[in-house]
Amino acid sequence: MANSTYPPDFVEHLHHALANLYDPFQLRESLLIHRLKIEGQGNPATLLRQQLIAAIEGLEAGTDAPPHSPLHSYHYLLNQRFVEQFTQKEVADDFGLSVRQLRRREKQAIEVLANHLAYQYDLVEAAPDPLTAAITTPSRQAELAWSQQTFPGDVTDAASLVASALQVAHPLLQSLRVRIESRLPAALPRLVVETVSARQALIGILTLLARQMPGSRFIVQAEVMRQAVQIQIYAVENAPMPAFHEAEATEGLRMAEQLIALSGGKLSLGDKSGSVQPIVRLTLPAEQQVTVLAVDDNPDTLQLLERYTSNSRFNLVGVRQPQQVLSMAEKLMPEILILDVMLPEIDGWQLLGQLRAHPTFEEVPIIVCTILPQEALALTLGASAFLRKPVRQDDFLRLLDAHSDGLS
């Protein structure tokens, strides 16, 4: 969190202690024993556990924040994950989030807890108490932080984001005789953003341009950058550059910049208008595509798996001839392999052994997908997971997600 008050390594030690909350050997070695002034007061592991549980409870009980406050959400998440010892998958399902989204929110909750402990134990001078600050100073930053918790990041596409912003802004654009044309490429990677805040930022920029440059015509384009998509807004017919230095424009840009930052994005301005340089650029994080190589001699199965992964972050490439698998894998460098067993000439078990013996693919997740009831054999021979045919889409995507964590 941007306004952290704890020492640089405090979150790391706090996270480790929470993850080992019921392991006395790990807790006894924790540097938090010194930081939280527990030394020489009895059993340090027990006292540290009690202090951490009390701090988690303090996120809820120590404040008069309303029930919808982020502090209540943080308390519930930390209690479920570390006190009650639920898995990330179980807590993610409870919150209605993906595991990736839950991990991000869990990190934020631990940072809030670290701030609370830093204040409680005077780890820094004049640290503001996050519990009272959340109530007594409902600032713009607090509202933005609340928005970040209310609207967790999800996956969308740039075309939908632009179209929805244009639809909302249309009455104002029309009244100011402003025309905006979207010319986005068809094959853009999907965006990983907080859709609500990103759309509000785009609406703010469009309406600001309309008020600054009434009667103008704009073009919205986009290009792929490294792990990002940059949405660019051009003014055509050599319209004059808007007066972004005026107070209202400055405030609008600052708000849009803060909203974009909630998604890890960036807003930047050009220094001139016209058809060559965009007036405004929005750089938003893109979903990293995960290449999946599926080996199956049945074309219907490959077609089914391709359909299952359409409109997802998984780019599935099918191979029917097992003799082509190694050369295709060396060419594509897939992050995940799907392997049938009943293949012509070379069966899947032989192919699994060849892949595991290959220095490039010995660590790549390989999912054996077959009609045979041979899960134990598959795992013994080096498979990372097993999936029995017929395959359901939700099971298939869940397995791909589980073996692509950390790839994107």
Q: Please say whether the structural domain 290-402 has been given the CATH code 3.30.70.260.
A: no
**Tens-place pLDDT, residues 357-374:** 998 998 899 999 999 999
Q: Tell me, what amino acid is at 15?
A: H
Tokens of 388: 């029995």
Assessment of whether the complete model's pTM goes beyond 0.85: no
What string of DSSP letters covers 121-144?
Answer: TT-STTPPPHHHHHHH---HHHHH
The pLDDT score that the predictor gives to residue 81 is 92
**Candidate CATH numbers 3.30.565.10, 3.90.1010.10, 3.40.630.30, 3.40.50.300; the one for domain 154-285:** 3.30.565.10
The position carrying tokens 């549980």 is: 53
- Helix, strand, or coil here: 116? helix
The pLDDT score that the predictor gives to residue 408 is 45
CATH topology agreement for domains 154-285 and 290-402: no
* CA separation, residue 349 to residues 200, 317, 324, 354, 387 (Å): 53, 20, 16, 9, 15
Q: Tell me, what amino acid is at 340?
A: D
- Of 3-7, 69-73, 234-238, the range with the highest mean pLDDT is 234-238
Give me the mean pLDDT over the 306-317 stretch.
Answer: 83
What string of DSSP letters covers 289-319?
Answer: PEEEEEE-S-HHHHHHHHHHHTTSSEEEEEE
Q: Is 112 left (phi over 0), alpha (psi -120 to 50) or beta?
A: alpha
**Tens-place pLDDT, residues 74-124:** 888 999 999 988 888 888 888 777 888 888 889 888 988 888 888 777 775
Phi, psi angle pair for 77, to nearest 5°: -65, -50
Instruction: Determine contact, residues 291/333, Cβ cutoff 8 Å.
Output: yes
Instruction: State the number of CA atoms in the 13 A half-sphere of 57 facing the CB.
Output: 8
**Tens-place pLDDT, residues 230-272:** 999 998 876 666 666 555 567 778 888 888 888 788 998 876 5
Residues 235, 218: Cα–Cα separation, whole Å: 4
**How far is C-alpha 407 from the chain's CA centre?**
12
The pLDDT score that the predictor gives to residue 147 is 47
Domain map (residue ranges) of the chain: 10-150, 154-285, 290-402
The pLDDT score that the predictor gives to residue 52 is 93
Residues 101, 235: Cα–Cα separation, whole Å: 37
* CA separation, residue 172 to residues 208, 231, 275, 279 (Å): 10, 21, 24, 20
Q: What is the DSSP letter of 323?
A: G
- The alpha-carbon radius of gyration of the chain (Å, integer) is 26
Residues 163, 184: Cα–Cα separation, whole Å: 11
- Helix, strand, or coil here: 247? helix
Helix (H) or strand (E) holding 225: strand 217-225
Strands 366-370, 385-388: parallel, antiparallel or unpaired by DSSP?
parallel
Q: Tell me, what amino acid is at 164?
A: S
The pLDDT score that the predictor gives to residue 133 is 47
Instruction: Determine contact, residues 336/364, Cβ cutoff 8 Å.
Output: yes
| Residue 127: band (very low, low, confident or very high) from pLDDT cuts 50, 70, 90 | very low
Which segments of 192-324 does DSSP mark as H helices, in order? 195-212, 247-261, 299-309
- Helix, strand, or coil here: 220? strand
